[in-house]
Structure 1
């Protein structure tokens, strides 16, 4: 027992010094860069048409991995990366918006599978995440949390700056600093772009980290929203590619394969897989639309190059600090294959397609808007054909986990102190679940058996460290299942057995086959790199063996039951997940904001009213937003303008309907009210609007059409102001704050609910397109 002295000056007073917790000596810094929706054949580092000089620079001093795999979808890939476990093992069988009560699809990470960032933090690493987080269950994504699944709470990151959800406006994003909603530091007109902002934050953080804690290594996860739609980029980056895609997507695939062979990132005998009938040929596209299609690809290529440039700024900041040589950099060029969610002709505002209103985007409209693609006035996506081309030489695209077009992503590892073969190529099979065990082994840290008092299940990935110094080392990760919406397959010792169950962009109409009726294909990757030669007929026994292996893995990792349901997975009650919204009335208070669309009751396809109690000072005209939902690309707002109450309904940024009161709001405390009487008879119909002061009608008008499905993928609902882009052009976000006193706002739903007209498959398509 230690002797306790009375006086600290007593010579017998002795206590050991406090020692900070640090990882083993020499543990490397770690930077993981994860881009969004980039196909294997997009980046110039892997033979693609989009210039990525930073990726090329890192590859020339590091290693290219040409058989690295993801899960075919964003949230599952991210959760697998961050935990070292298969996506179903950590509850992320699909995106959070389609979560069910089944363990493999709940979107809830078990506490027995702690994330890598938590393990590193508890072992002395500084940790930070910048960018996209799509792993928060939807019922926990409001500003009230709970925050267990948020990066800076249960995720193990001491710092988080980014957004929660599948996509975001690059010019006006909904941002969080930790768990606190914040506004972007500048506007698009002032030159703001999200990727640049994220890089600014990352550079500032790593400089401060090394200045204040030079003995402590860092783990930084840099996950920009780029290059997910909307494809937003300053036009000077897109204009660099003017005229470079006139050949179309079929020819682009041939050119890309030739460059890939020249670079050596695919074998010389690799074969280009054929175009499937679901994907239109370039020559079959209308002549008047081709300039628009070219511009879509120019904008995307500029977007990817712009992203690579800002990744380079983060790398340079690390280099300037003198620690680049002992920093492991994983540059993962895509969290899945290129996205085929932009329809066969692409979109100027992808919300039009999400709402079943793509017919509004006629070829004439697209041509008229062509020069706005990539700008703040657009919310654009490219056509399916470009996605297919950017996955060269493979079949299919994002969401199709059965084929390499959905899951094979070019990956670069840069670590001068740990790699003695700069510029080398590695072809051992690898998967995103391998990153966590690799980093732990490199840091000299064992996999944890307990984290915060909870016993941990083993990681399911295989460390890639063996391959860093061994080009010819036999691969150690030789068995891996894949599954996404019943598109599924298995890899085993070079062979792969796969079956595609669903086409990503065909989500409405048609009957899906029974699982047992899906047709399986068999490929020998030992001499068929691109899955071009189906050997199912020649090797039925091998196919049967691999099918059994898939089933064994599926049982082991909570893949079963497979779930290709549509409407049931979007309705919280039938899916078995919680919801924030109940009943037919919802009350809000001033200052509430950044409420996601699933945090607010839906007023679509039905009658509804909005009531606000306000106080207007004597002699002053009221101005500002009472409540606003959505933004520039679709939404509605009730606000005061020059003393009069006004209601605006904005349809996709194409049509806007406004109704304004005929008299001023009197001074004092009053209730202002808007009643919308829906026409009925189907979806997206119009309705009559009546405005009231204390029950007295003061104005009326018409809304000729409405949005039936979704207002926005990233814009939110705000009370007493409007964040992000604005529904109406009468005010800006900075001038939107209500000048009187707002007591409360309430939404009440009418009884003529026409939601039952929405096709179940259509609901599912909307959810799937927003990730």
Structure 2
């Protein structure tokens, strides 16, 4: 192996031309220059594929003893190493930012998700430029880089299609190619996609067989094949992060039907069945114990009989969703094998970015937005039973019940968000690299964390951590390379100290011991009375004899507990965890949280063609009076189509023209719909169409009166009996002149939603008392200039 001639600690690697003779005439026989050589990593650097699934608990995948068939994971495990004590942060965006930087999540500003960012450094959602991402380091060392799937690391005020794009994968993130979505979750049937930073539409419809995971796999396969066809000597770094199996649990019916009847005996029985299988496979040691169910999680036998068929179907759909996801991961890996480079590809298959999600309420949800808006009561047992056959389909936005999440974390306590206990943070991980690891089918028991992945890849590639990237001095990575364990699966663990924290749930691991305290319950979103931090009850576990945190030793070893509590505080101080922040509603308010907003003031002006505007890109009309005014040009044969729409099938509102008449519809969670139609068509020519909503007040999510106007003259009135208080959607957007994604109203589809006529402008005003019901040009200009 030849010596690497590059000084790679400063990136980009400085150009250093060699001094020598410069001739006057290129034909001079003494003219000599070395050939141009493309930048490549050191000889022997492997291709790298990271697969990161979403919201998969430790006990879900068959590769780790669970009920959901994952043959791809099992095949990789048979030819590689399975890490049974690999950990995440307990939540998606923090895990992803930690994974891609090699630093703890608070160190890179991602103490929670981007939507709850504050001005505190550990929770700002801003990655410091002193902590360059792995993809940037690899790209600047000669790797080809690409990401496919979910990116939830973009600060909400930077997530619009106008940027800035510093935190987007294909700009500041270091990925040369990006195809996927920005945010926490997406509709698998009708996703809001980006190619680079450009919004794109899915290539097909659900009726034509479209599914997001399959689409992402198609793009990943095409990119890998192209990369190896055009640059076979250059290694690739591919990051495949599908939105699966995060809610909504969307999967073709035949995949869910494979599991029919498999979960009829409920989550308690399934948890015991999984635990027995885990012992049989050697995933957990013989002395491991199945942890008890907490009182906050209902027993299966205590659930009403009339809801149990719905609960069964929820789990069948989820199991099919995970198997479907693993199948498409397999397609990507098969493509690598067909190119003949599988042996030289370091694969991390991380089965979940946190524990299983318990955000679906105690009975699950047909539309998870109901719970997020404090309106879960609308989904009655009768309603849920009427929708059983639609779970997983394009008409659903479903999630499973808390009990299933708990079962999918067998044998551990708690779930996603609960960073204190292993149920929130332990995720089975498989490493496959035939030419670089020792042993096949081996269970590795070393403690590891997602911050260990980046330093492992750099060491495997023979690359140093950079001390300077783009002119900025870098802080050291905080993870521990796992290469020692890949070379010797029996080696003693080297990562022996790690803190955990999420929404006040916190814990620490140190040399086998763990001290933990659960502060809040993830599925209780409103009205939860949490204790003061100093009143939290800490538990103590000895991992050398208690693999699953089943036996609390805090009473027996109080001094050991105090030692670890102090150590947690030291680590928390070191990594920007403080101040602890367990606020909920306040953190959703940008003014109280102290983060910037894209939108300011009480008015917003839109123009035709604007679209794919996230909720954070649009003035918030919830729980207040507001008006929508549009100046339109109507052809002689009448208007049709959307003037402006926010949201989609599972919640939102739309002002549109139908049979020439203006219509306002408010869709509550896809369960209730309220429509008000004008008495007459919009006249041909240039006119103002206006909708005024007078909010009832007296609390959140109340109704209001709707009045429609043409040029200030009333043409219709009606009622909206209820509204959504918190959020319309995690992925649907606001569009002017059309309705992308799913549609708010069944009166039109995506194709027919385009406005026939011409829209000059649309303006939303909050709480404005405009007795003229008309906006003159000077007033519109004032609003426009006030926003500069």
TM-score in terms of structure 1 length: 0.96
Contact 2:189–2:205 under 8 Å retained in 1: yes
Question: How far apart are residue 565 of structure 1 and its match?
Answer: 1.9
- 1:145 corresponds to: 163
Which stretches in structure 2 are left out of the alignment for 5+ residues?
1-18, 770-788
Measured against aligned partners, the alpha-carbon deviations of 1:509-559 in whole angstroms (never above 9, x if no partner) come to 243212111111111101110000111111112111111111111111111
Is the 8 Å Cα contact of residues 606 and 751 (structure 1) preserved in structure 2? Answer: no
Q: Hey, what does 2:686 align to over in structure 1?
A: 669
| Equivalent residue in structure 2 for 1:68, among 57, 66, 86 | 86
Cα deviation, 1:730-759, whole Å, max 9, x if unaligned, reads 21112211121111100011169xxxxxxx
1:7 CA drift (Å): 4.0
Contact 2:612 2:734 in 1 (8 A): yes
Q: Which residue of 2 aligns with 1:438?
A: 456
Matches within 5 A, 1:13-92: 13-92=31-110
Map of 2:674 onto structure 1 = 657
Cα displacement (A) at 1:11: 3.1
Q: Any residues of structure 2 matched to 1:246-395 within 5 Å, and which?
A: 246-395=264-413
Post-superposition offset of 1:144:
0.9
Show the counterpart of 1:509: 527
Structure 2 residue aligned with 1:614: 632
1:735 paired residue among 752, 756, 761: 752
- Choose which of 633, 637, 660 in structure 1 pairs with 2:654: 637
The Cα of 1:307 is off from its aligned counterpart by 0.2
Alpha-carbon distance in 2 for matches of 1:499, 1:608: 44
| SS class of match (1:636) | strand
Partner SS state of residue 58, structure 2: coil
Maintained 8 Å contact 2:438/2:488: no
Show the counterpart of 1:755. Answer: none
Per the alignment, do residues 262 and 622 of structure 1 end up closer, same or farther by CA in structure 2, a change over 3 Å counting?
same
C-alpha separation between the residues in 1 aligned to 2:305 and 2:512?
Answer: 43
Which string of whole-angstrom CA distances, capped at 9 and with x for unpartnered residues, describes residues 698-736 of structure 1?
222222222222111110101111110000112111221
Residues 451 and 478 in structure 2, CA contact (< 8 A), matched pair in contact too: yes
In the alignment of these two chains, the number of paired residues is: 751
Q: Which residue of the partner structure matches residue 763 of structure 1? A: none
State whether residues 627 and 768 of structure 2, in contact with CA within 8 Å, keep that contact through their aligned partners in structure 1: no
Q: Is the 8 A contact 2:372 2:525 kept in 1?
A: no
Match of 1:198 among 198, 216, 219: 216
Question: Structure 1 residue 703 and structure 2 residue 716: aligned?
Answer: no
Q: Distance in 1 between matches of 2:432 and 2:98?
A: 21
User: Per-residue deviation at 1:354?
Assistant: 1.5
Conserved 8 A contact 1:661-1:698: yes
SS in 2 for 1:662: strand
Is contact 1:691-1:700 (8 Å) kept? yes
2:556 to 538, 551, 557: 538
What pairs with 1:705-724 in structure 2 (closer than 5 Å)? 705-724=722-741
Partner residue in 2 for 1:762? none
Contact 2:367 2:650 in 1 (8 A): yes
Shift of 1:4: 4.3
**Offset from partner CA, 1:430-473 (integer Å, 9 cap, x none):** 00000000000000001111111111000000000110121221
Q: Tell me, in whole angstroms, the C-alpha distance in 2 between the residues paired with 1:668 and 1:3.
A: 76
Match of 1:681 among 669, 673, 698: 698
1:297 aligns to what SS in structure 2? helix
Moved more, 607-616 or 384-393: 607-616
CA distance in 2 between partners of 1:667 and 1:8 (Å) = 73
Output the CA distance in 2 between the equivalents of 1:352 and 1:505. 13
- Equivalents in 2 of 1:543, 1:606: separation in Å? 50
2:438 and 2:489 in contact (8 A); partners too = no
Once residues 306 and 402 of structure 1 are traced to their aligned partners in structure 2, the CA distance between those partners, rounded to angstroms, is: 31
1:214-237 CA-partner distances (Å, limit 9, x unpaired): 000000000000000000000100
Asked if the contact 1:237/1:306 (under 8 Å) is kept, the reply is yes
Q: Which moved more, 1:621-630 or 1:299-308?
A: 621-630
Task: Please give the alpha-carbon distance, in whole angstroms, between the structure 2 residues aligned to 1:191 and 1:162.
Answer: 18
CA distance in 2, matches of 1:3, 1:493: 61
Distance 1:23 1:456 in 2: 20
Query: How far, CA to CA, are the matches of 1:592 and 1:30 in structure 2?
Result: 38
Equivalents in 2 of 1:192, 1:102: separation in Å? 41
Residue 125 of structure 1 pairs with residue 173 of structure 2: no
Q: Is the 8 A contact 1:614 1:744 kept in 2?
A: yes
Provide, for residues 144-172 of structure 1, a one-character-per-residue CA deviation record: whole Å limited to 9, x for no partner: 11100000000000000111111110000
- The match for 1:160 is 178
Equivalent residues in 2 for 1:414-563, closer than 5 Å: 414-563=432-581
- Is the contact between residue 337 and residue 405 of structure 1 (CA under 8 Å) also seen in structure 2? yes
Listed one character per residue, the Cα deviations across residues 158-201 of structure 1 (whole Å, up to 9, x for unaligned) are 00011111111000011111011111111111111100000000
Q: Find the aligned partners of 1:666 and 1:638 in 2 and give their Cα distance.
A: 16
Q: Deviations over 1:549-588 (max 9, x none)?
A: 1111111111111111233322212211101121111100
C-alpha separation between the residues in 2 aligned to 1:57 and 1:364? 43
Give the Å deviation of 1:5.
4.2
**Cα distance in structure 2, aligned partners of 1:190 and 1:469:** 47
Q: What SS is found at the alignment partner of 1:184?
A: coil
> Given the two structures, how large is their TM-score scaled by the length of structure 2?
0.94
Partners of 1:549 and 1:300 in 2: CA distance? 39
| Structure 1 residue 419 displacement after superposition | 1.8
- 1:3 Cα shift? 4.7
Q: Choose 692-701 or 339-348, whichever is displaced more.
A: 692-701
The answer to whether the aligner puts 1:207 opposite 2:232 as a matched pair is no
Task: For 1:3 and 1:269, locate their aligned partners in 2 and report how far apart those are by CA, in whole Å.
Answer: 74
The CA distance in 2 between the partners of 1:13 and 1:253, in whole Å, is: 75
Once the two structures are superposed, what CA deviation does each residue of 1:273-292 show, in whole Å capped at 9, x if it has no partner?
00000000000000000000
Give CA-to-partner distance per residue, 1:655-709, whole Å, 9 cap, x none: 2122222222222211111112223333322222222211122222222222222
Partner of 1:648: 665
Report what 1:761 is aligned to: none
Query: Residues 374 and 526 of structure 2 are in contact (CA less than 8 Å); yes or no, is this contact kept in structure 1?
Result: no
Name the structure 1 match of 2:781: none
Partners of 2:72 and 2:327 within 8 A in 1: yes
Q: Does 1:582 align with 2:610?
A: no
